[in-house]
Structure 1
Amino acid sequence: MAHVPQLIIDLALILGAAGVTTLVFKKLKQPLVLGYILAGLLVGPNFPIFPTIADPETIRIWAEIGVIFLLFGLGLEFSFKKLVKVGGSASITGLVEIGVMLVLGYLTGYWLGWSGMDSLFLGGIIAISSTTIIIRAFDELGLKTQQFAGLVFGILVIEDLVAILLLVLLSTLAVSQQFAGMELVVSILKLSFFLILWFLGGIYLIPSFLRINSRLITNETLLVISIALCLLMVILVTNAGFSAALGAFIMGSILAETLYAEKIEHLMQPVKDLFGAVFFVSVGMLIDLKILLEYAGPVAILSLVVILGKSLNVTFGALLSGQPLKQSLQTGMSMTQIGEFSFIIATLGLSLNVTSKFLYPIAVAVSAITTFTTPYMIRLAEPLYHQIDKRLPLRWRNFLNNYSTSTQTIVAVNDWKQVLRTFAGILVTNTVVIVGIVLLCTNIVAPFFKRNFFDNLWSEALTAILALALITPFLWALSIRKIRTHSYNTLWKNRRFNRGPLVAMEAGRLILGVVLVGFLLDRLFSPVVALLGAIVLIVVILPVFTQKLQETYARIEKRFLYNLNARELAQTNGKVNNGSATKSLLPWDAHIAHFEVSPESECIGKSLQKLSFRERYGVNIAQIERGKKSIYVPRGHEQIFPFDKLTVVGTDEQLKKFKQVVDPPQIEPAPLPPEVILKQLVVDHTFPFLGMSIRNSDIRNRTHGLIIGIERNGNRILNPDPATIFEKGDIVWLSGDKQLIKSLEEYAEHVVETKQH
């Protein structure tokens, strides 16, 4: 008999328990995450009643795989460009919330008498809200089109990015075991450098690779390639000294910028769900009920800290960013939970052996409690706002309204700000690329040459030539390329005292170029050779080959920008500029929402003029997306079709009424139609309608059927007349409801039994 590996047995236990709890929690309309955690508790080593995972190491492996795919899925939904779109309100609110909750968590842990490392990790655990739980709650409550929902999603984007930084910083602190300020600064700079390098390289290479091989890519190959890229980035990032979760997140965010983003996300959904379930089950396996009961008090205290702390901090942050009181309160009450990132941070502490064993089950328990209370907190927001608004002094109310209005005014960007932003972009991007190429050549290429081909001098010379050839276009863009934007020209012409700082900035670019070339040559040769080589390259060679270098850099830049914006260009069908109408400043509390027209909507086939949305509901249709076609500011003759995507402008109340029209609530599905069969009946002494006509037998209504034909004495009567009499020996062909025909046969048997008795 073949032996089944223990790994397969353990996986069967994990998925079996997850499958059962999924059905139960779906029936109870509770978040599946709680079901998975319960499943892990039942099959874990701390609950011996049920079959238990045999190998604890297996738990760690499955948890790590689950984290990788969970973070890869979050990266696919993230996109670095979302950071630009979330705006100042989400950034201010998110940073206020995270900063205060980090401090509050640390102080709470200190007050409970926990160690400094436990308190620090506790701050990270309670700082990040759950994207999964919030999105699910908004779906169930129908709030995704509310104005405050956009702010919540923006804050979640900020939280995702900060959570990644927290993983790195907590790992650094856990290893060093001390609050070394300089080490933290170096870690942040190192992380920033690698994030920029990986993003620039990934956007340039990966979309180009997918586009070149587009004819060969099927769903299967795209899924395999995506997972392979994810795992390759995980290996690269871990070798650079960061966590595997960071690598998965980065690759997901890079693929989120490609034309295949939606397809990859769709293909990855089952994989993400599978390994996400495995991760959350593994979370439950590590819970010890004895420890949980022992620390019931801290669980209750921390649950209150999360619920009250987040609701107050987020509300205050939103008010500070200029949001009205109602939207601020709704936002704060929506984010009163912790979730997936909290588990990952708690798992990090356990894996590094720097946190106490009680911290993990406490984090899980607090997550379960706050997840359960989330829908109730969201529902409570509006009634609470009305109560506060009634009792709020008129002076305070006017101050909040005036502050909200003043912070949402458009601030003009002056010329110096534009020029400094341009200089910063040029310096940072090109410096990161140059340093990345130098490190690649000196740390990998040079040792490879030495081992396999040449001695030290020749290998160093060839490495220098290769590195200089690769960095020259970026070096030219960094040091020599002319910056002649409108703001730069304005500053140069308008005021003479502007020219001094501009000249100094240009000189700084040249000096930075010399330093970077010297950095390369110094790693291969002596400092003197490095200095002379750098000066000659920057001052002599680059100006001579300016035309060629300009063409090369232009091709690189064009390819990068095309890859970066290809997804948006495809979505708008080349009409990017026309979409600006939907991005204009909106009056009062009106905002943009998106709806998909349900096939059950009464609007189908009617024109906008006939529907009169503006007159009836006060909303305006800014855009209709129909497949790959976009209709901007549609006219009255445009008709509404099923699955049209409408971009609508209105207030919360107007949009709520409008949603009932274009996307009515789902009604209970109609019962399945009866199964229609063709049945052969023999007319004998048991036939209940022997001697009766088809009409008098009422067989049509009894079976919801139809007499197709009768075979009588070798002759076939098709579509017999209703007056035809059933005679003994007839073979009747009846088409009708399977169940009703069966009941007819049972009725015939009952008649026979009655006659016999």
Structure 2
Amino acid sequence: MDHMIFEVGTALMLIAIASVIAGKLKFSIIPFLIILGMVVGPHAPTLGIFDFTFIESQEVISFLGRIGVLFLLFYIGLEFSVSKLIKSGRNIVFGGTVYVLLNFSIGLAYGFLVNFPLYETLIIAGMLSVSSTAIVAKVLVDLRRTGNSETELILGMILFDDLFLAVFLSVMSGLLLGGATSIGGILLSVGISIGYMLLFFLIARKGTPVLNKLLNITSNEIFIIVVFSTLFFIAGFSETLHVAEAIGALLFGLALSETEHSKRIEHLVIPFRDFFGAVFFFSFGLSIDPLTLGNAAWLAIGAVLLTILGNMISGMIAGRKAGLSHKASMNIGLTVMARGEFTIIVANLGVAGGLMPLLKPFSALYVLVLAIVGPLLAKESKHIYNGLNKIFKWSKSQEKLKNMG
């Protein structure tokens, strides 16, 4: 046990050093932490008392990372107003549908193009369709865009994407893992997921006075125990209903966003969000074996390019339909571009179902590239917009519309 604590402490020191370097370079810490996780791990050397393989402590680090995802999504939920989200309901459904359909179709076409069998093609399509809630949340926080006009739509699209993931995993689990799930069973599972999400919207809309009374706790110590205990309980309970634990945390944050205690909770949760969030990205890198990536390089690069194109187009369509500017619409596609934990889950399902072993290194490389490139593109969105604006003349067309109005 003492050795394991020393291993975890060593990992945290590495995370701290990488974070300081990223801060000095004024760079997002996400790529630094993912690459750091890949560099160490099972294939790293052991130097005296320093064991950089982290084999004994990997489960603990992974669990701390999962806590990081919960805090990230909980914080994002706190930042939003449910009333505004409900007003954007139609735009969210339209944007989410366009996003999922376009990316899923691209994945299907790509799978058939590289001559993958049907089930492998479906898994590839699923992988290309699901964004990383953890990385999207971190990007919104890092770039201070939680108050931007497009962010409500991004949040709604994440919820929609998670609902699609629940349906997709239910169907593919039935097909791949035997005892094919009945249509009735799938519909019931999806219905429960939708009902569960709607319940939190209802609590946020109608239950605010009750929540205000329940959280009227003077002691910060007791207050934080009550809030965090409820957060972990709801996240865990969500998993039993086949709603991702991260989305459970997001929904709980949304439920508390309308209360008079929301700012107090935000203030208390920020240090936990930053600390555990950093551990998540390190543990994510730790799960990737760099020695297996070469075989899937070209396949993954092709998928990355198609994903960038699909996200840009779907983000632009969703944003423009919602009445957002070209710049805000482009931000949507760039922000939700990162792939992460959910893509790995889809790939692992394929591997567990006895599909091509190539899916594992393909998913690792595909996720790694987009987990690094996604936040970078989001950070440089202003320059990307200016470059594309010279080609498509968006600002001029908007001026014409204003003049006509």
1:161 to 135, 143, 159: 159
Name the structure 1 match of 2:333. 335
2:168 to 167, 170, 192: 170
Q: Deviations over 1:414-434 (max 9, x none)?
A: xxxxxxxxxxxxxxxxxxxxx
Is the alpha carbon distance of 1:350 and 1:225 closer, same or farther for their aligned partners in structure 2, counting shifts above 3 Å? Answer: farther
Distance 1:222 1:200, change over 3 A: same
CA, structure 1 residues 339+57, in 2 after alignment: closer, same or farther (shift >3 Å)? farther
| Pick aligned residue for 2:360 from 357, 367, 385 | 357
Structure 2 residue corresponding to 1:368, chosen from 365, 372, 388:
372
Name the residue aligned to 1:414. Answer: none
Equivalents in 1 of 2:33, 2:268: separation in Å?
22
Residue aligning to 2:226: 225
Indicate the larger mover: 274-283 or 304-313.
304-313
- Whichever residue aligns with residue 311 of structure 1, its letter is M
Distance 1:264 1:57 in 2: 29
Cα drift, residue 261 of structure 1: 0.9
Confirm whether residue 121 of structure 1 aligns to residue 113 of structure 2.
Answer: no
Greater displacement, 98-107 / 56-65: 56-65
Task: Report what 2:298 is aligned to.
Answer: 297
Q: Which amino acid aligns with 1:38?
A: I
**Is structure 2 residue 49 aligned with structure 1 residue 47?**
no
2:223 and 2:264 map into 1 onto residues whose CA distance is 9
What do the CA deviations read for 1:559-610 (whole angstroms, capped 9, x no partner)? xxxxxxxxxxxxxxxxxxxxxxxxxxxxx6xxxxxxxxxxxxxxxxxxxxxx
Structure-2 separation of matches of 1:113 and 1:77? 45
Find the aligned partners of 2:168 and 2:60 in 1 and give their Cα distance.
25
Q: Does 1:81 align with 2:89?
A: no
Q: Which amino acid in structure 1 is aligned with residue 82 of structure 2?
A: F
Residues in 2 aligned to 1:213 and 1:91: alpha-carbon distance in whole angstroms: 33
The residue aligned with 1:261 is 262
Offset of residue 176 of structure 1:
1.3
Q: Once the 2 structures are TM-superposed, how far is the Cα of residue 131 of structure 1 from its aligned partner? A: 4.2
Name the SS for the 1:108 alignment partner.
Answer: helix
**Deviation at residue 284 of structure 1 after TM alignment:** 0.5
Q: Which residue is equivalent to 2:213? A: 211
Aligned pairs (5 A) from 1:567-606: none
- C-alpha distance in 1 between matches for 2:82 and 2:289: 39
What letter is aligned with 1:254? Answer: A
In structure 2, the residue matched to 1:36 is 33
More helix by share: 2
1:21 — aligned with what? 18
In 2: Cα distance, 1:255 partner to 1:186 partner: 28
Corresponding position of 2:69: 67
CA distances 1:456-484 after superposition (whole Å, capped 9, x unpaired): xxxxxxxxxxxxxxxxxxxxxxxxxxxxx
The answer for the alignment partner of 2:188 in structure 1 is 186
8 Å CA contact retained: 2:136, 2:335: yes
Give the C-alpha shift of residue 206 in structure 1. Answer: 7.7
Query: Structure 1 residues 13, 166: closer, same or farther in 2, change over 3 A?
Result: farther
CA distance in 1 between counterparts of 2:389 and 2:28 reads 27
Question: What does the per-residue CA deviation read over 1:233-271, in whole Å, with 9 as the maximum and x for residues that have no partner?
Answer: 134333444433333222222122221111111101111
Task: Specify the alignment match of 2:103 in structure 1.
Answer: 101
> What runs of 5+ residues in structure 1 fail to find an aligned partner?
406-587, 589-757
Shift of 1:24: 1.0
Is 2:138 the counterpart of 1:132?
yes
| Cα distance in 1 for residues equivalent to 2:124 and 2:205 | 39
> What's the TM-score once normalised by structure 2's chain length?
0.80
Contact 1:329 1:381 in 2 (8 A): yes
Contact 1:33–1:280 (CA<8 Å) still a contact in 2?
yes
- String of CA shifts for 1:167-209, please: whole Å, max 9, x gaps: 4223323431268654443222121223334554677668526
Q: Is the 8 A contact 1:101 1:310 kept in 2?
A: yes
Look up the equivalent residue of 2:130 and give its one-letter code.
Answer: I
Q: Is the 8 A contact 1:89 1:322 kept in 2?
A: no
Q: Secondary structure at the match of 1:258?
A: coil
Which residue is 1:273 aligned to?
274
Q: Partner residue of 2:307? A: 306
How far residue 226 of structure 1 moved from its aligned partner, in angstroms, is 0.8
Cα gap change, 1:132/1:110 in structure 2, threshold over 3 Å: closer, same or farther? farther
Q: Deviations over 1:320-374 (max 9, x none)?
A: 4555xxx22552266335567x322034336654583221342122221233333
Tell me the CA shift for residue 303 of structure 1.
Answer: 2.6
Matching residue's letter, 1:64 = R
How far residue 17 of structure 1 moved from its aligned partner, in angstroms, is 1.4
1:661 — aligned with what? none
The CA deviation at 1:101 is 1.8
- 1:156 shift after superposition: 0.9
Q: Considering only aligned residues, what root-mean-square deviation do their CA atoms show, in Å? A: 3.6
Q: Which amino acid aligns with 1:296?
A: A
Task: Map 1:135-146 to 2 at 5 A.
Answer: 136-137=142-143
Counterpart in the other structure of 1:743: none
The one-letter code sitting in structure 1 at the alignment partner of 2:190 is I
Contact 2:293–2:364 (CA under 8 A) maintained in structure 1: no
Contact conserved, 1:199 with 1:254, CA < 8 A, in 2? Answer: yes
Structure 2, unpaired ranges of 5+: none
Q: What is the number of residues matched between the two proteins?
A: 385
Q: Any idea what the Cα deviations from partners look like across 1:195-235, whole Å, max 9, x if unmatched?
A: 33455467766852652562x43222221111111122134
Deviation readout 1:92-126 (Å, 9 max, x if unpaired): 44542333123223432443345135313313335
Q: Is the 8 A contact 2:77 2:250 kept in 1?
A: yes
Task: For 1:345, give the aligned amino acid.
Answer: F
Structure with the higher fraction of residues in strand conformation: 1
Flag the structure with larger Rg.
1
Distance change >3 Å, CA 180–CA 113, structure 1 → 2:
farther
Letter in 2 for 1:121: G
Alignment of 1:566-715 (within 5 A): none
Identity score, percent: 20
* Distance (Å, rounded) in 1 between the aligned partners of 2:163 and 2:92: 18
Tell me, in whole angstroms, the C-alpha distance in 1 between the residues paired with 2:68 and 2:141.
20
**Aligned AA for 1:28?**
L
Report Cα offsets for 1:675-731 as digits up to 9, x if no partner.
xxxxxxxxxxxxxxxxxxxxxxxxxxxxxxxxxxxxxxxxxxxxxxxxxxxxxxxxx
Residues 212 and 235 (structure 1 numbering): CA distance in 2 closer, same or farther, change over 3 Å? Answer: closer
